[in-house]
Amino acid sequence: MKEDFLLRIKNLSKSFGGLKVLDDISFDVLRGKITGFLGPNGAGKTTTIKILLGLINRDMGQIELNGKEIQDVKNLKFKITIGALMEFPSFFSHLTSRENLKILSLSDNYQTDEKRIDHLLNLVELKHAKDRKIKTFSFGMKQKLAIADAFLNDPELLILDEPFNGLDPNSMDILNQILKNYVREKGTVFISSHILSEVEDLCDWIILLNKRKIIYKGVLKSLISQKSLKEMYLKLTKDENI
Amino acid sequence: MKISNVLKAEYEIYRKSSLVKFISIITFSLSVLFGFIIFHSSSFTGSLSFLALMKGYENGFNFSISLIYSIFNILIFFMIVTASTTVSDEAQKGTLRTILVKRLKRRELIFGKSIFLLICFFTLIAIISLLSLAVGGILFGFSDISEKNYIIHSNLSLFYNYFLSLFLMIFPISALINLCLFFSVLFNNNLMSLISCFGVNFIFYIFTELDFYKYLFLTNYILYPLKAFQKMAQGLPLVWSPQIWYMIIVTVIYLIGFLVLAVIFFRNKEIP
């Protein structure tokens, strides 16, 4: 069966000061599915996500949304509602979590009422800390707030960079359930992670990046039919290193 | 519409900042204290020597004029520090990345920050002006001092020129804000941004010492409306035009030029 893609990335390349960090990568993000973006540290996952979110410029490559090419990638977020979580999220430390979400919804030009903000804070189990200043938050709590922030604008596409970082097992389970429910309601998720156990349980489609290049893309089940994802991951990335 | 959202967001961020509250209280306390010292001192030296001429001519307007003149440099210093770190500070702390993944155009953020800083500066000036007028009025009254030999301005003339001077500050101050904003966009580090901004202003200042070139540099015009305050305090006649139009044209060129440069550099900036 032909897969329906929401985003198609073709021949994407990026260098920093002559050092190539992405080398001609192509992949699809499937509509209504969870696409996992895996790879070791420094493989280029965060760089790819930063390009998609318009934070950095690409050197080469095309990005298509619903089959139409987006000329300026910075405009992608204006063509589709995106909820994003970046690795090591930052917030205004002198403000509370509610105040931060209020400001971020203003930046997004999205009308978010207090009820929705409270609902999202409840969802990520930050109800008790809604009036606490961010400077008193642990890394895990900031990560939870970043998850709430990603859902703030009721997104059609979620782009998450290492969302499980710093979360305790209970919180990981909660995020897992939130994402599954979100996809059930026709949402699309593009998620980078190195916590393979979570990815294995969550993703339908896998893209494996190593040393700036894609070494596998396809259905997760066919990759791990005989071995676990961890074993296959280690095998594939090790083969590439030889 | 988006710029108004940036203004609301900036307001929320600055409103809750204890540093802003601290600076506001310190600025106001210093200004009131400074004003009283000036009025109760018998000797003045250096650039403040002209204030000695006001002895015996105490009036609410004169009090406010001398106070704003005295603290203007402090306000400019705070304004340069705030404007030249407004983007770099967010880049340094990572909140710029959090904001820029939202549906916000980069130029809207720059326009919003520029307008917000301008509003902040003039709100502060307006508060100091109104409070100093109130304090000066209570202490010295607004009796007409034009009959006295030295001060040639009537209260009406003082009133008109006082607010005209404040209004004219909009042009050089906006240009200075946009110059600072440009350096704030260039760097992801507050220190680099501050050093560059003060460095360029210092170079501009050196050029203002040269007779011909001074007319081309912004620094020459920053204190221009303030010179009117000085003349008013000294009781000297004020001649606004045609220099006033030259000042407006030059500062508007700076204002637009640095705003455009800030937008262009920010549009292509890679966010860490």
Q: What is the pLDDT of residues A36-47, one digit of tens each?
A: 999 888 889 999
Name the residue facing A94 among B6, B18, B102 (closest C-beta).
B18
A122, A218: one domain? no
Answer whether A99 sits within 8 Å of B9, measured CB to CB. Answer: no
Q: What is the pLDDT of residue A14?
A: 94
Flag if A107 and B17 touch (Cβ within 8 Å). no
Closest A-chain CA to B108? A107
Residues of A in contact with B271 (CB under 8 A): 50, 55-56
Q: Which residue of A has its CA nearest to B91?
A: A90
Q: Which of residues 18-47 of B touch A (CB under 8 A)?
A: 18
Q: How many domains does chain A have?
A: 2
- The complex's ipTM? 0.88
Read off the pLDDT band of B238 (50, 70, 90): confident
Contact assignment for A88 to B1 by CB distance below 8 Å: no
Q: Are A86 and A101 in a shared domain?
A: yes
The 3-class SS string of chain A reads: CCCCEEEEEEEEEEEECCEEEEEEEEEEEECCCEEEEECCCCCCHHHHHHHHCCCCCCCEEEEEECCEECCCHHHHHHHCCEEEECCCCCCCCCCEHHHHHHHHHHHCCCCCCHHHHHHHHHHCCCHHHCCCEHHHCCHHHHHHHHHHHHCCCCCCEEEEECCCCCCCHHHHHHHHHHHHHHHHCCCEEEEECCCHHHHHHHCCEEEEEECCEEEEEEEHHHHCCCCCHHHHHHHHHHHHHC
CB contact under 8 A, A92 and B97: no
Mean pLDDT value of segment B241-267: 89
Domain finish residue from A155, A181, A213: A155
Contact flag A153-B268 (C-beta cutoff 8 Å): no
Tell me the pTM. 0.86
Which of A114, A134, A155 corresponds to the end of one domain? A155
Render pLDDT for B145-196 as a digit per residue (tens, 0 to 9). 554 544 555 666 777 778 888 888 889 899 999 999 999 999 999 999 999 9
**For position B261, what pLDDT does the model report?**
97
Domain count of the fold of chain B: 1
> Are both A60 and A170 inside the same structural domain?
yes
Same domain, A22 and A109: no
Query: Quick check: is B272 in a domain?
Result: no
Same structural domain, A242 and A163: yes
Nearest CA in chain B to A149: B98
pLDDT in tens, chain A (242 residues): 456 889 999 999 999 988 999 999 999 999 999 999 998 888 899 999 999 999 999 999 999 999 899 988 888 988 999 999 999 999 999 999 999 999 999 888 777 788 999 999 999 999 999 999 999 999 999 999 999 999 998 999 999 999 999 899 999 999 999 999 999 988 999 999 887 777 888 888 899 888 888 888 887 776 666 677 777 777 777 665 53
Please tell me whether residues A67 and A127 are part of one structural domain. no
Q: Does B199 contact chain A (CB < 8 Å)?
A: no
Query: Which of B7, B17, B19, B102 would you mutate first to test chain A, the one with the most A CBs within 10 A?
Result: B102
Looking at the structure, do residues A111 and A163 belong to the same domain, yes or no? no
A34 with A123, same domain: the answer is no
Q: Give the end of a domain, one of A155, A183, A210.
A: A155
Residue B179: inside a domain: yes
Chain B residues close to A102, C-beta within 8 Å: 12
- On whether residue B215 sits in a domain, the answer given is yes
Rg (CA), chain B: 20
Query: Same domain for A51 and A114?
Result: no
My answer on whether A17 and A121 are in the same domain is: no
pLDDT above 70 as % of chain B: 81
Domain span including residue A213: 1-80+156-242
Containing domain of residue B192, as a range? 3-267
Residues A71 and A86 in one domain: no
